[in-house]
Structure 1
Amino acid sequence: MSSRPSPQNYESEKTKKVVIVGGGLVGALNACFFAKRGFQVEVYEARKDIRTAKDVRGRSINLALSHRGRQALKAVGMEDRVVSKGIPMNARMIHSLSGKKSSLPYGKTGQYILSVDRAKLNQILLSAASQYPNVKLNFEEKLQHYSVEKGLLTFIRPDSSTFEVSHDLVVGCDGAFSTVRKQFMRQPRFDYSHVYIPHGYMELTMPPKNGGFAMEPNFLHIWPRNTFMMIALPNLNKSFTCTLFMPFEEFEKLTTGDEVLQFFKKYFPDSIPLIGIEALKRDYFRLPAQAMISVKCSSFHIGAKCVLMGDAAHAVVPFYGQGMNAGFEDCIVFDELLDQFNNDLSKCLPEFSRLRVPDDHAISDLAMYNYVEMRKHVNSKWFVFRKYVDNFLHFCMPNTIVPLYTMVTFTRIRYHKVIKRHKWQSKVINSMLFVMGVLATITGAVMLFNYLPKSLLTLELYNWNFGFK
């Protein structure tokens, strides 16, 4: 950003202090939202500043930015800048065992999701937040303890020294293993659950080929193999980030480079020359397979003092590409509530929980389902047929029939309403297909009946000629 943004309503809110714990994607975007309103914002991140650090630790699964996330970025004037750093993906490209490729569009012409680099996006958002005069970014300062009763957060520095911070509002954006959320565990009637799925993930790199992309760039490539899969997303440097999702026991079976090569020859043969044999045998053992966790909790707030957003409130598995988008939507929903209730936190926080808990639980369930779809259902002819039926009906009746993926990815229809509407649509479409099947059967029977007299006459003559009568 070339110039510092001007906070809105700065005079009325400049004495209110918002402490954001976590300087990741959701924390950095939240800083922009609160700063734009004129709040005094302090962001505390346990890691080094990702903009300057040479060794950046953390997840690196490529992200798929879609409508919900883009709307949040647009609200703080960041959409165009982020979109310019992404690569459009118009469809899934399915790779069969034989090497045959087929595409499944995500939506109507012109609808696409964006492949974006997690680290670069985080850098852009932190830089945007730092442009506000009422934002202070703090790095390598980890939350050690949070006391709601005292209204104090205790942070620890790398030299083991500690300090306390007061606040008017704490926004917990510190990830799936949130320290802020631990305070919620002490509250009565707080529901919490987490699940580690039995599958892990491992990342590999497909380098550029002859200065260009090794595969078609504007697709999310998928190698579905029923119980596991590999995907590949394009990067601006012409490489692809490949991610292998597989049960942990399958990862553990491969202990040598030759075993890895044989495994890929069996299940992903067309990827081997693109990744490279030596790179494949080496990179597979660079890091162990990483775990994936799904977190659900309720509620997302404590009084008017603390609220959870992003993975701290609802970590989801990555198979719908909605983890970041749901976190960004948290930010814009809260901002809309601040508008609605004139910045009254005592009203905004309970309403935020009421709205977001059912939606974020719903996207968690949808993400679990979509893994089965990506690794298995896309191989089904019936699944592909239904996709085309859904898209055709959506084209004919755009306001009545909207495909599930379209509702999730290209609208801001609330996630839990998406599930309800999808169930209703499925009943309608299945009933319609059943009726069409019955009508086709009846039509066939009528045609056969009209044809029968001639056939029976032929049979009568046949029987007479050969002495059966």
Structure 2
Amino acid sequence: MLAAHGDHMEQADVVLGCDGVASAVRAALQKQGAQAQQTRYKDRRPIVYRVMAIPTGKEDRTDLNYSARNDNVIVEALPNAEGDLLGVVLFRPTDQRIQGLKSGAEAKKVFQELFPDWPTPLIPDSEWGNFASRKTRELPQFAFAGPELNLGGKCCLLGDAIHSVKPFFGLGLNSGFEDIAVLDQCLEESGDDFAVALPLYSRRRAPQAKCLVLCQRRFDQATDLKFALAFVLPLVLDGVFRKLLPRVFAPGLLALFQDGELSFTEARRRKLRDRVLQALILSVAFLAAGAVSFFLARGVLRGLWRLARRPLHAWLHHELL
């Protein structure tokens, strides 16, 4: 099979398309007749970012994810091989406090107002200047490819080429590693016969890629209220029911995704079952509470009616005599 390499073509027995959201390999598969269409979703609540180098203090741990948030600006920082932190500053495209930065002094002033405790005191003046001059970049859109991820036994797609999600929950890179693991398992099961292994991989991973993207996209809501209903409320319900009946109810959907015991589709089915049980239990509880309230209210009204009637009867009896 021919594969593009720079400005020339290479001959290869098998091509693995791991070339990201705008995959040229995926486009080539479609031209060859594979049903590898990409379904891409417009952002409901666009977020952009700039990177920032954050030195660590003498006593700071470098095995943790650091995070700070203030007024719709978020700083996420992960350790790198050198021990410092690679920071990502997330913000809205319309936020001119960061979009409109023209100097390091302006950047430092904005961060002193938003994040006076961390990471601002750690940042040297040179980095403020670098941050102000860096380009603002967009996060990838939610997208998935399928229903075919291969072209016979000659080519298949992995990673962001088949599923693109926001980097909020650590599932983008991890799901790419899982693609590799599944492909390896398919090769083992087929005796390294690519003609068998790649279609098998496609059948197994295409539904998982779609499920991953659609489930995570539900959390990307346009307003705080919709986000609370789509993410916070289910999280609270799962926490309460999990604590009351841990043998019956599973953790939240993201926890199931991150745990890796179940596939994405299996986790979604499990959580749908939990939602049905939760709805039934809550419905019964509301009906029971309504029935108790009705009978209590009826008893109180009857008691008040009896109390109101007694003076009237006594007055009539006195007047008639």
Aligning the two structures, in what range does the TM-score lie when normalised by the shorter sequence? Answer: 0.7 to 0.9
**For residue 314 of structure 1, what is the aligned residue in structure 2?**
163
Larger Rg: 2
Within the candidate set 37, 41, 48, 1:200 is matched to: 48
Is 1:395 matched up with 2:246? yes
Secondary structure at the counterpart of residue 208 of structure 1? coil
Aligned pair partner of 1:212 in 48, 60, 68: 60
1:396–1:463 CA distance, 2 compared to 1 (3 A): farther
Going from structure 1 to structure 2, the CA distance change for 1:383 and 1:284 (only over 3 Å counts) comes to: farther
Identify the range of structure 1 (451-460 vs 316-325) with the bigger mean alpha-carbon deviation.
451-460
Cα pair 1:408 1:415 within 8 Å, conserved? yes
Equivalent position of 1:302 in the other structure: 151
- Letter aligned with residue 174 of structure 1: D
**Residue 273 (str. 1) matches residue 117 (str. 2):** yes
Q: Match for residue 155 of structure 1?
A: 5
Would you tell me which structure has more strand in proportion to its own residues? 1
- Counterpart in the other structure of 1:245: 90
Cα distance change, pair 351–371 in 1 and its aligned pair in 2 (3 A):
same
| Letter paired with 1:432 | I
User: Which residue number corresponds to residue 335 of structure 1?
Assistant: 184
Asked if 1:289 corresponds to 2:133, the answer is no
1:395 Cα shift?
1.7
Give the C-alpha shift of residue 251 in structure 1.
Answer: 5.0
Specify whether residues 395 and 438 from structure 1 end up closer, same or farther in structure 2 by C-alpha distance, changes over 3 A only: same
Pick one of 278, 285, 292 that aligns with 1:443.
Answer: 292
Q: Distance in 2 between matches of 1:390 and 1:188?
A: 48
- Separation (CA, whole Å) in 2 of partners of 1:356 and 1:154: 25
For residues 223-246 of structure 1, the C-alpha deviation after alignment (integer angstroms, 9 at most, x for no partner) is 386xx5525345377765543333
Q: Offset of 1:306 from its aligned partner?
A: 0.9
Residue from 13, 28, 31 that aligns with 1:186: 31
The amino acid across from 1:388 in the alignment is G
- Please give the alpha-carbon distance, in whole angstroms, between the structure 1 residues aligned to 2:230 and 2:85: 23
Supply the AA of the counterpart residue of 1:285.
Answer: A
TM-score by length of 1: 0.53
Q: Does 1:223 align with 2:72?
A: no
Match of 1:434 among 267, 272, 283: 283
Identity percentage of aligned residues: 17
Task: Supply the distance in 2 between the matched residues of 1:373 and 1:218 (Cα, whole angstroms).
Answer: 30
Following TM superposition, by how much is the alpha carbon of 1:337 offset from its aligned partner in structure 2, in angstroms? 1.2
The answer on whether the counterparts of 2:99 and 2:136 sit within 8 Å (CA) in structure 1 is no
- For the aligned residue pairs, the C-alpha RMSD in angstroms reads 3.9
5+ residue gaps, structure 2: 314-321
* Cα displacement (A) at 1:222: 6.0
Q: 1:325/1:179 Cα in 2 relative to 1: closer, same or farther (>3 Å)?
A: same
CA distance in 2 between partners of 1:380 and 1:305 (Å): 41
Per-residue CA distance 1:84-142 (angstroms, 9 max, x = gap) = xxxxxxxxxxxxxxxxxxxxxxxxxxxxxxxxxxxxxxxxxxxxxxxxxxxxxxxxxxx
Q: CA deviation at 1:291?
A: 1.4
Unpaired runs of 5+ residues, structure 1, are 1-150, 465-469
Q: Which residue of 1 aligns with 2:14?
A: 169
C-alpha contact (below 8 Å) 2:238/2:251 kept by paired residues:
no
- Separation (CA, whole Å) in 1 of partners of 2:15 and 2:221: 37
Q: Secondary structure at the match of 2:218?
A: helix
Q: CA deviation at 1:300?
A: 1.2
User: Is the Cα contact below 8 Å between 1:206 and 1:274 reproduced in 2?
Assistant: no
Which secondary structure state, in structure 1, belongs to the residue aligned with residue 31 of structure 2?
A: coil
The 5 Å alignment of 1:5-84 reads none
Give the Cα separation in 1 of the matches to 2:54 and 2:310: 71
CA 413–289 in structure 1, closer or farther in 2 if over 3 Å, else same: same
Q: Secondary structure at the match of 1:436?
A: helix
* One-letter amino acid matched to 1:297: A
Change (3 A) 1:172 1:385: closer
| TM-score, scaled to structure 2 | 0.74
Residue 309 of structure 1: how far off its partner (Å): 0.9
**Structure with higher helix content:** 2
* 2:196 aligned with 1:347: yes
C-alpha distance in structure 2 between counterparts of 1:275 and 1:206, whole Å = 7
Task: Find 1:235's aligned residue among 79, 87, 91.
Answer: 79
Mapped partners of 2:312, 2:19: distance in 1: 85
* Structure 1 residue matching 2:278: 3-state secondary structure: helix
Compared CA separation, residues 461 and 320, structure 1 to 2 (3 A): farther
| Deviation for aligned residue 1:296 | 2.4
SS in 2 for 1:377: helix
Query: Does structure 2 retain, via aligned residues, the 8 Å contact 1:218–1:234?
Result: yes
Cα 1:343–1:193 change in 2 (3 A) is: same
Give how far 1:348 is off: 1.1
- Paired residue for 1:57? none
Aligned to 2:236: 385
Helix, strand or coil: the match of 2:192? coil
Higher mean C-alpha displacement, 342-351 vs 240-249: 240-249
Which stretch of structure 1 is more off in the superposition, 339-348 or 255-264?
255-264
CA distance in 1: counterparts of 2:17 and 2:230, whole angstroms: 40
**Is 2:214 the partner of 1:370?**
no
Q: 1:385-442 deviations in whole A, cap 9, x for unaligned?
A: 3242243256232xx5442122211124222333333233213212211221221232
